[in-house]
Amino acid sequence: GEDVEQSLFLSVREGDSSVINCTYTDSSSTYLYWYKQEPGAGLQLLTYIFSNMDMKQDQRLTVLLNKKDKHLSLRIADTQTGDSAIYFCAEPYKAAGNKLTFGGGTRVLVKP
Amino acid sequence: DSGVTQTPKHLITATGQRVTLRCSPRSGDLSVYWYQQSLDQGLQFLIQYYNGEERAKGNILERFSAQQFPDLHSELNLSSLELGDSALYFCASSARLAGETQYFGPGTRLLVL
């Protein structure tokens, strides 16, 4: 079945690193995604990782993938107040037209 | 800006009514997805169209229907609206049928009173 789990809430001080964790179930996924949703806004594609990679770095963002444990994480270095948002990990489900199954979202609050 | 547009941005209506939400995919994208975001259900996939044809169906109610037109824009029709249909409805598009990144529109916020 399809199930994506995330922790609900993360509070971090400005300048520190944030780590958001996610577990997924479909081991055949080619990609795994991170989306960001700011208050009252839509879903912004933040980054993604190919399933044959262990790590991807994109400026302040680092994605780590542990396929054995089906665990995905997103690290935000030097977290800024503008990073306060809800972060969703998402897994495409190939058997259903690549529809995305989302985790419940992790609300990140950055304190000055 | 993802390149996906949705109208209207906000919609307020009454129970029992019918509404139509519109989505224009990114230029060149053939695949359109509809998702619903509600407080109790989170983000749920509703339906996918590819080049005018329905390709995948999720937890979409029978009161809801969608279509994709020859110019590739899509409409989601919600009828006999109930209070519980109040949610944020997103459209996403991708280039091909599968294996492609989905880009989301800004959403339509529906409030049923």
**Average pLDDT score over chain A:** 92
Candidate from A2-16, A85-99, B75-89 with smallest mean pLDDT: A85-99
In chain B, the residue whose alpha carbon lies closest to the alpha carbon of A33 is B101
Beta-carbon separation of A92 and B107 below 8 A: no
Q: What is the pLDDT of residue B77?
A: 98
Percent of all residues in chain A with a pLDDT value above 70, rounded to a whole number:
98
Residue A15: DSSP 8-state:
T
Q: What local confidence, expressed as pLDDT, does residue B61 receive?
A: 95
Give the number of residues written for chain B: 113
Quick: pLDDT tens for B46-98: 999 999 999 999 989 999 999 999 999 999 999 999 999 999 999 999 987 66
pLDDT in tens, A20-69: 999 998 777 788 999 999 988 889 999 999 989 999 999 999 999 999 99
Length in residues, chain A: 112
Residues of B in contact with A29 (CB under 8 A): none
pLDDT value, residue A46: 95
3-class DSSP assignment, residue A3: coil
Residues B56, A99: C-beta atoms closer than 8 Å: yes
- Does the CB of B104 have a partner CB in chain A at under 8 Å? yes
- What is the average per-residue pLDDT within A73-102? 91
Q: What integer pLDDT is reported at residue A29 of this predicted model?
A: 76
- Looking at residues A91-96, what average pLDDT do you find? 79
* Averaged pLDDT score across all residues of chain B: 94
Inter-chain touch B101–A45, beta carbons under 8 Å = yes
Instruction: Output the pLDDT for position B99.
Output: 62
Q: What is the rounded distance in angstroms from the CA atom of residue A94 to the CA atom of residue B48? A: 13
A87 touches chain B (CB under 8 A): no
Q: What span, in angstroms and rounded, lies between the C-alpha atoms of A18 and A45?
A: 18
How far is Cα B73 from Cα A95, in angstroms, rounded to an integer? 24
Confidence of residue A3 (pLDDT cuts 50, 70, 90): confident
Average pLDDT over residues B29-52: 93
**pLDDT for B97:** 66
Work out the average pLDDT over A85-104: 88
Instruction: Give the number of other Cβ atoms within 10 Å of residue A27's Cβ.
Output: 10
Pick the more confident residue, A93 or A73: A73
Torsion of CA B7, B88, A101, A94, to 10 degrees: -20
